[in-house]
Every structure is written in structure tokens, then in C-alpha cells.
Structure 1
Amino acid sequence: MVIGVLALQGAFLDHQKSLTACGVDSIQVRKPEQLEGLSGLIIPGGESTTMGKLMNQFNLFEPIINLGKKGVPIFGTCAGMIMLAKDIIGSDQPRLSLMDIEVERNAFGRQVDSFETDLFIPGIDKEPIRAVFIRAPYIESTGESVQVLASYRDKIVMARQDNFLAAAFHPELTNDLRIHRYFLSMIG
């Protein structure tokens, strides 16, 4: 099993460290041909408009959309969640539109409003998971086939739809591997 981590910007190295700690090999993805043969893909946080421009520049949109449509699990964190969304409130920026979710960018405020909190995610564990929110988005609404996994102050911050997983927070910035293990459990 090899997991690709989109390595255009953001905390891709931290995702790779988490995958290594889970005993899984990973590669950095910057070119379409690097998507071939992957068991899964992680789209990390960063700045979603810049990420969209870089994905356009490197011709990654269509290959990633095709990967998702083939059923390969894709996990988006923070900006990665925005990239997976079908709709972004107040924005027509490029996105993958793979998940039937509508997101609000920078929904919890500016960089100085970043925070950490404990989240209860019943589908993953009974014990709380530490969540790091950095200029985080949230999910405003979901389609019928989307399963809400976690909320914070009545805002949806984690969801799953078929082979797609989205989190508004950064599990790669903690030593807790439960979210990454959950993603890996979606494979095969």
C-alpha cells in the first residue's frame, strides 16, 4: 500500500510522518503520473486558492477527479477539504467538486483566531481527539449521502462520503494517529 500526499504546499511532510508512524509508505505527488497505482491520496492544508492555481498549473485536476471516481480514497484536511467540496460559499475558485458539501472558507476567523480543542468522533473512538484548527473552514451543508462525523459548536468539521473524507482541522499536527488510521481503514 502506498499513499500519495499532494505536495504543492501545506503540511504534506507532517502527513507523511503520520503515515510512516502508521507503518505505511507514502510518496509526494506533484505530477499526474505520480498518482498511478496509489492506494489513497491526502490533500493537505495550505491556502486553497493557491493550491487550486498550482493544481491547474501542474494539470492535476482531471487526474485526481478520475482517481476519486475510480473509488480510490481521498482525504482532505483544511484547504484539502475546501478542494474536495462541490460548493464554496462566495467563491468560484477551482476545486475538485468530489464531495457533496458546501464549505465556508476561514470560517472560524483569521490566523490569530486559530485554536485547539478536543473533538468527540463516535465513529472513530470513544475518547476525544485533539483537533488543531488553523484559519479553518467548516461545512455549511451536506448532501444526503454525506455522513457527518464531527461538529464543533454546531458547525460540521468532519465528514465522509463514500471514498472521500474531509476534516476542517489538522490531524497531522498532533501525535494522535487515529484519524489517519481511520482513513487507511477506508482502503480496500
Structure 2
Amino acid sequence: MTSAPVIGVLAVQGDAREHLQALAACGARAEPVRRASELTRVQGLVLPGGESTTIDKLLRAFELAEPLRERISGGLPVYGSCAGMILLAQRLVDAHRGQQTLGGIDMLVQRNAFGRQVDSFEADLPVQGIAGTADSPGLMRAVFIRAPWVQEVGEQVQVLARVPCGARRGAIVAVRQGNALATAFHPEVTGDLRVHRYFVDLVRTVDRG
């Protein structure tokens, strides 16, 4: 792979622009993906935050759902944040009638688990595998906006982060299974590039393998 892997950001709905900027800052060639033909060009893909039910409907309307499932099941590195975590789940709690996911991670996810927009919050998380800074070793400021959480994971799923304190203590908010990564929080809004850098490195590693 060249020094600039091509990483797409699903851009049918949600905060695609912020992810595109973060990926570019990490040395990737970031491209929006709205069509199946654009999906064929990427070596990794980000599923951004937004409204998961709306994204699901648009994916089917644009005939993107099945191509996405095929590429993810075939090993395409993929990262989902917030709504993207919901899309990567094998199973959902209280899914909307007819709501579908893409799969990729053996987990049970509850939508809007932390509450409504007014219940959004921030927390400092220890995130396994992502280096800390000199000021906050091993910690990452995480922003949760109508966020999901993971209720159950399969044996092959690695839990990377849990909420460390408060009423939400222990809630699983970051996971990885093989080439699939998901967070309940939004690293693209904080200016902290560590999650995106981790994902870009994953894409490079998969291509070299």
C-alpha cells in the first residue's frame, strides 16, 4: 500500500465531513462513499454517527446495503462511531420495526442507551490499545450524543473501553472484532486523532497482510 491508504466515509447521512477531515489529518486519502461503485475503490470504511434508522433506509434505497455487507464479511476494515456502532451490530435491543444492520461484530447493542439529546455527556476513558498523552496517559475525552452501548459481546470480540465511573459505570463503549472497530462516542468532534490513527494503521496492516 502507498503511504496514503484510500479510506471511505459513508456519506448518505450523518457527520461524514468531520471523519473525512480526521482521516486526512492521519495521512489517509479520505473519500465520501454514496454509491456501490465508490465502495469498490476503498481499502477501509468509516460508518459515521447520525440517525441509524435513516441510514439503514438510505442504504437500501441507494442499493448499498448488500455491497456493504459483502465487503465487511469479506474482511474490509471498518470503523463505526455511534450510529455506525449500531450498524455493525449483529443484534439490536428495541430495534425499529424492519430495521436492519450490516453486521460485522458479534454484539448486542442498545440504541440511545444513554438517553436523549439532553442526556449527552463527556467522560475520560481508558481505551485499550490506544496510547495516552503526557497529560492524560491512557485516557481519551469521549463525547456521547444519544449514544448506544453494548449489552453483550461474543467470544471473538475484544472490549476496548467501558465507562469508568458514575451511574453508567461498566457500560461497554468501544469494541473490536478482527478488522471491525466500533465506538459509542464521537472522536471526530474532539480534535483527538488517536482513534482515527488507530484505524488508519489497521487498514495499512490488513493490506500488508
| TM-score tier (shorter) | over 0.9
Shift of 1:122: 2.8
- For 2:130 and 2:8, locate their aligned partners in 1 and report how far apart those are by CA, in whole Å: 22
Deviations 1:70-112 (A, max 9, x none): 2110000000000000000021511112210100100001000
Cα RMSD after superposing both structures = 0.9
* SS of corresponding position for 1:125: coil
| Alpha-carbon separation, structure 1, partners of 2:111 and 2:196 | 23
Cα deviation digits, residues 18-44 of structure 1 (max 9, x gap): 011112111111111101131100000
1:9 corresponds to 2:25:
no
1:22-171 to 2 correspondences below 5 Å: 22-91=26-95, 92-126=98-132, 127=137, 128-152=139-163, 153-171=169-187
Q: Percent identity?
A: 52
CA distance in 2, matches of 1:69, 1:97: 8
Report the TM-score when normalising by structure 2. 0.88
Question: Counterpart amino acid of 1:94?
Answer: Q
Question: Which protein has the larger Cα radius of gyration, Structure 1 or Structure 2?
Answer: 2
Structure 1 unpaired stretches of 5+: none
Amino acid at match of 2:89: A
Distance 2:129 2:76 in 1: 21
How many corresponding residue pairs?
Answer: 188
Instruction: Give unmatched runs, 5+ long, in structure 2.
Output: 164-168
